[in-house]
Amino acid sequence: MADRPLTLMAVHAHPDDEATGTGGLLARSAAEGIRTVLVTCTDGSCGDGPGGVKPGEPGHDPAAVVAMRQEELAKSCAVLGVDHLELLGYADSGMMGWPNNDAAGSFWTTPVPAAAAKLAELIRHYQPDVVVTYDENGFYGHPDHIQAHRITMAAVAETGLPAKVYWTTAPRSKMDEFSKIMKELGADWEDPDDEDGPLSEVGLPDDEITTWLDTRAYGGQKYDALAAHASQSENIFFLRMGRERFTELMGIETFVRVQDRTGVATPEDDLFAGLR
Ligand SMILES: [Zn+2]
């Protein structure tokens, strides 16, 4: 183990997920000398086009959207100090229920073992100590996030290499405050108390969160990484908070540890606890 640097691998669905979910973790890890690898599974072709055009609307050219989002992703990675960006290149499946879900080449229709084999190859290559992805619900039910979860867990099981595996999460205690701010900023935001709403499944009770990571010192980088993805309308609401409020709200990143070989007690405040 001594002949390679400590390594973090984050597996995300779309260009921009790295910033919202793990921007602080990536920036902090890079600052601490940890090698950082970002795997982005899809091309983001179902994202907004220039000027906010939505998929299916006139002027939404998926190839142009992909090119724009690759550029944004490269910029975000530079801001966050990501050492290696790996693109699996699957077609964005769109939101649950969209016809893109079943389109040929979509990430959602790709058999899990096929995509997991590609990821397993990257895990063998980089040998990450820590792997981070989403929970079974893909954090909020997006098919590509669910698929990213599935292929990550399959690749981890196949290789048996990472010492610690985490899923991103959010404390339920914060959801009310969060939705209040998003509404205030004009986002079409669901009420987390709505039992049928998509946010009713998001996050965990505080006492089920194993890992609280203070990334407030890297809030500016996280904000700038998200700003690199300003073409996507859902990011604009976050950016409207401004750096300070954004850092206050998004500066503590939370995770649930689902695999561990270190035996470090939880709650912990460092994903690399027991590995340094
Ligand atoms: Zn996403």
pLDDT in tens, 252-262: 999 999 999 99
**What integer pLDDT is reported at residue 188 of this predicted model?**
72
User: What is the rounded distance in angstroms from the CA atom of residue 220 to the CA atom of residue 144?
Assistant: 28
The structure's pTM equals 0.94
Query: In this structure, are strands 7-12 and 35-42 parallel, antiparallel, or unpaired?
Result: parallel
Length of the chain: 276
Q: How many angstroms separate the alpha carbon of residue 41 from the centre of ligand 1?
A: 10
The rounded Å distance from CA 133 to ligand 1 centre is: 12
CA 94 to ligand 1 center in whole angstroms: 9
- In 52-70, which positions are buried (b, 16+ CB within 10 angstroms) versus exposed (e)? eeebeeeebebeebbebbb
Between the alpha carbon of residue 139 and those of residues 27, 52, 164, 178, 244, the distances in Å are 21, 24, 19, 15, 25
Q: How many angstroms does the Cα of residue 144 sit away from the middle of ligand 1?
A: 7
Token look-up 């072709």 returns 45
Query: How far apart are the CA of 127 and the centre of ligand 1, in A?
Result: 25
- Cβ atoms 36, 78 nearer than 8 A: no
Q: Which residues of the chain have pLDDT under 70?
A: 1-2, 189-200
CA separation for the pair 90, 151 (Å, rounded) = 13
CB atoms closer than 10 angstroms to residue 74: 14
**Contact in structure between 262 and 164 (CB atoms under 8 Å):** yes
25 C-alpha to ligand 1 centroid (Å) = 17
- Residue 176's pLDDT is what? 82
pLDDT recorded at residue 178 = 84
How much distance in Å is there from the Cα of 1 to the middle of ligand 1? 33
- CA 13 to ligand 1 center in whole angstroms: 5
CB atoms within 10 A of CB 105: 11
